[in-house]
Structure 1
Amino acid sequence: MFAPASTLPVSDVDPFALGVLEDPLPYQAHLRDAGPVVYLSRYDVFAMGRYEQVHTALTDWQSFQSAAGVGLTNFRYEQPWRPPSLLLEADPPHHDAPRAVLSKILGPRALQKLRAAWFADAEVLVDRLLESTEFDAVTDLAAAFPLRVFPDAVGLPEEGRDNLLPYGDHAFNAFGPVNSLVERGAPRVAELSDWVADRCRREVLADDGFGAQIWAAADRGDITYEQAPLVVRSLLTAGVDTTVNGLAAVLYAFARHPDQWALLRQNAALARTAFDEAVRWESPVQTFFRTATGDIDIAGTVVPDGKKILMFLGAANRDPRRWDNPDAFDLTRNPSGHVGFGMGIHQCVGQHVARLESEALLTALASRVESIDIVGPVRRHLNNTLRSWKSLPVRVTTVQR
């Protein structure tokens, strides 16, 4: 156990306690105010909640290692519960080829081929949903739309797609400690892992989807045949839950801020800004870990080699040292630079997919809906890593056609 210097702020609060996960903002503010680096005695790790230090850790992969795991488990000394992600839990040179393959497949130019179809799908979903003026914005919109378009784009067969969210939920829970949230998903780990592994096989995937393109990259020698199913798995692990929670965040933001919804309705081009501002404001991915590759000086605190460092992305995205009025959801703000998608070489490779899904859904809604009001209790779905949602009941006022 590390013995912190007397000048280093120490906290014995558990950031993964259910109460903190339910409402993390007070804890994050305390963490930022305590100092640039805080020692978390409960887990023997160092924590950073200010934007400057979090941004530095995300961009300096040489000092802040991902290959030892982006969760609490330290791969230097402990066995991971599944083979590490070739993108999230790898550093150069092992990270480079899979990243290059996915960056091309999921890049803005490649996604233009899906744009018209996804916008049309959003229109169909919204038209059907608006046959009623009340619905759950999480289950009926934020989850329904990605589960409608993304598995098709990957090339997944229809059967079993309901496994995607529970698998992702457990994967993101497993980045934290073994608490009740991890235990909640443990009974289905083997079943869900087997299902995902099976869906990564070439013969299971459609010939024209993202998955087939990944296997084609193996044919070209861009990646190995052993890497191909793991790259497909990366899509299935991180491609749904994060987008669902990002969409829920932007819908929640607009329900809370009707003036901002009015701005979007006046200017549909703000749809992409709105999504990024919601990702900054709510930070669907709240935390990730790194590991010190040597004795690292962070703002005067020396973090010893091999120690875990917990980055609070959500805290950084509301740091008043970086953002004016950070607690406001504001479409006139330039949210670029937020760390909700990470930063540097490990920045979310699927962020353009999420932006396109959000743009399609918000555009369809903005043309039909004048107002969005919350009409029941907003319920969170607790997760060790994600700022997640269970229910957001809303009532909408529609435009008369």
Structure 2
Amino acid sequence: MTVTPEAPAIEAPTSDVDPFSHEVLEDPMPMHEELREAGPVVYLRRYDIYAVARYQEVHAALTDWQEFPSADGVGLSNFRYEKPWRPPSLLLEADPPRHDAPRRVLSKILGPRALRKLREDWFADAEVLVDEVLSNGPEFDAVESLSSVFPLRVFPDAVGLLPDGRENLLPYGDHAFNAFGPANDLVAKGEPRVAELAGWVGSRCAREALTDDGFGAAIWAASDRGEITPQQAPLVVRSLLTAGVDTTVHGISAVLYGLATHPEEWQRLRANPALARVAFDEAVRWESPVQTFFRTANRDVQLGGTTVPDGKKVLMFLAAANRDPRRWEDPDRFDLTRDPSGHVGFGMGIHQCVGQHVARLEAEAVLHALARRVESFEVAGATRRHHNNTLRAFDSLPLRMHLA
């Protein structure tokens, strides 16, 4: 990546980097550092967009929904001028007042009371899964055996999905997050199945396709009470199914990777299992399973000393902000003595991830089950990254466990 002097009519330093190239997706951290050091705002010529990689500017863009709204899309595609490939999310791609009622309904459904009811069952399920995995030997692929299994084991049940077809959730979510980027080979890879996957997910959002005791039924009940409309209810269910699986899978992989490569932190957690939630949030800061999101300037807006013109996209590097040394001490270290609150891995402001407490509970259950059985563990071979335009993920994370 080369950062050049100020270009004509562009107030910010400019760069020709492609954040969605396979080279960058494999290891984005050198680019993050260069963008942070280049300035508070950098103009990316390749896509005619503005990028922010420092914590202060990312936080500002995330929290100022009036100046940087989400309704024009949180990906590269600009809904002012382009038709989205699916109906926009009422949670992620809408602003007040349209955003308010669905957010209020889902926040209540995913609130502390619901999670208290799930906690005992999910912890028991995690114990069973970990025992199953360890019974097959001390070495296994964490992605294949744990992090991609547990969320698909418990979360669809909580939503109220029937067992058939759950294998469609991960490829559907993968394509949805790829589609936030440019129309590159990663998007093309998923396009042959888009209609099939979107049709399956859409069919599972209908009232009659859901059990009567899950999150989905509660969303439909809210429509019966007039809190949201019957037209909004399936879109709110779809938001859960789109964003509630892949991100948790990659978050659990991230915390396992962090603990495997920092054995002293695993010992700290084993001595105090209450640190499981801190460990998950520190992993979300450190690895940032959701790397980027976009906003769109609602008018000519000042950001970091640069005027972002009306209608221009702003690419927020959440992962770069989460390792910004201006905000974090020793940011490249995975550290359970750190207070990771304030990280932007779940977003920030009114569009902050509404399901983050569900993800924390899933990770907490897995970590508690492992802490009971495993004295120490380490990476047992070469890891392999899964490339996605938005997500930071593993395809393979081989681990070797030493039992207590």
Identify the TM-score tier after normalising by the shorter chain: over 0.9
2:38 counterpart of 1:34 = yes
Q: What's the Cα RMSD here?
A: 1.0
Alignment of 1:308-323 (within 5 A): 308-323=313-328
Look up the SS of the partner of 2:264 in the other structure: helix
Distance 1:351 1:130 in 2: 28
The share of aligned pairs that are identical, in percent, is 73
Contact 1:70 1:288 in 2 (8 A): yes
Distance 1:100 1:47 in 2: 31
> How far does the alpha carbon of each residue in 1:199-250 deviate from its partner, in whole angstroms, 9 at most, with x for none?
0010010000000000000000000000000000000000000000000000
Letter in 2 for 1:85: S
Structure 1-normalised TM-score? 0.98
Distance 1:7 1:33 in 2: 16
**Change over 3 Å in CA distance of 1:358–1:212 after alignment to 2:** same
Distance 1:230 1:192 in 2: 15
Q: Which residue of 1 aligns with 2:25?
A: 21
Distance 1:147 1:7 in 2: 47
> How far does the alpha carbon of each residue in 1:365-401 deviate from its partner, in whole angstroms, 9 at most, with x for none?
01110111111110011000000110001110011xx
Distance 2:191 2:140 in 1: 31
2:300 counterpart of 1:295 = yes
Distance 2:144 2:71 in 1: 35
Contact 2:10 2:43 in 1 (8 A): no
Letter in 1 for 2:63: T
Alignment of 1:345-356 (within 5 A): 345-356=350-361
Look up the SS of the partner of 1:130 in the other structure: helix
Instruction: Give the counterpart of 2:70 among 49, 52, 66.
Output: 66
Distance 1:258 1:215 in 2: 45
Contact 2:26 2:387 in 1 (8 A): yes
> How far does the alpha carbon of each residue in 1:112-163 deviate from its partner, in whole angstroms, 9 at most, with x for none?
0000000000000011111111111111111110000000000101000000
Mark the runs of 5 or more structure 1 residues left unpaired by the alignment. none
2:227 counterpart of 1:250 = no
Structure 2-normalised TM-score? 0.97
Instruction: Give the counterpart of 1:304 among 303, 309, 315.
Output: 309
Distance 2:111 2:30 in 1: 37
Distance 1:233 1:305 in 2: 31
Contact 1:4 1:39 in 2 (8 A): no
2:76 counterpart of 1:81 = no
Structure 1 position 8, deviation (Å) = 1.9
Contact 1:245 1:284 in 2 (8 A): yes
Look up the SS of the partner of 1:74 in the other structure: coil
Distance 1:377 1:297 in 2: 45
Q: Which residue of 1 aligns with 2:191?
A: 186
Mark the runs of 5 or more structure 2 residues left unpaired by the alignment. 1-6
Letter in 2 for 1:72: L
Contact 2:35 2:53 in 1 (8 A): yes
Instruction: Give the counterpart of 1:108 among 105, 108, 112.
Output: 112
Q: How many corresponding residue pairs? A: 398
Contact 1:292 1:305 in 2 (8 A): yes
Q: Which residue of 2 aligns with 1:340?
A: 345
2:180 counterpart of 1:166 = no
Q: Which residue of 1 aligns with 2:385?
A: 380
Distance 1:4 1:356 in 2: 50
Contact 2:160 2:211 in 1 (8 A): yes
Contact 2:160 2:212 in 1 (8 A): yes
Contact 1:373 1:395 in 2 (8 A): yes
Alignment of 1:46-65 (within 5 A): 46-65=50-69
Q: Which residue of 2 aligns with 1:396?
A: 401
Distance 2:43 2:126 in 1: 46
> How far does the alpha carbon of each residue in 1:258-310 deviate from its partner, in whole angstroms, 9 at most, with x for none?
00000000000100000000000000000000000011011211001110000
> How far does the alpha carbon of each residue in 1:52-110 deviate from its partner, in whole angstroms, 9 at most, with x for none?
00001111100011000000000000000000000000000000000001000111222
Letter in 1 for 2:383: V
Alignment of 1:223-302 (within 5 A): 223-302=228-307
Distance 1:130 1:375 in 2: 15
> How far does the alpha carbon of each residue in 1:168-211 deviate from its partner, in whole angstroms, 9 at most, with x for none?
00000000000000000000000000000000010010000000
Distance 1:111 1:374 in 2: 32
Look up the SS of the partner of 1:370 in the other structure: strand
Contact 1:98 1:223 in 2 (8 A): yes
Alignment of 1:135-174 (within 5 A): 135-174=140-179
Look up the SS of the partner of 1:367 in the other structure: helix
Q: Which residue of 1 aligns with 2:333?
A: 328
Distance 1:75 1:252 in 2: 37
Contact 2:11 2:307 in 1 (8 A): no
Contact 1:11 1:38 in 2 (8 A): yes
Give structure 1 regions of 4+ aligned residues with deviation exceeding 3 angstroms: 3-7
Structure 1 position 7, deviation (Å) = 5.0
Look up the SS of the partner of 1:65 in the other structure: coil
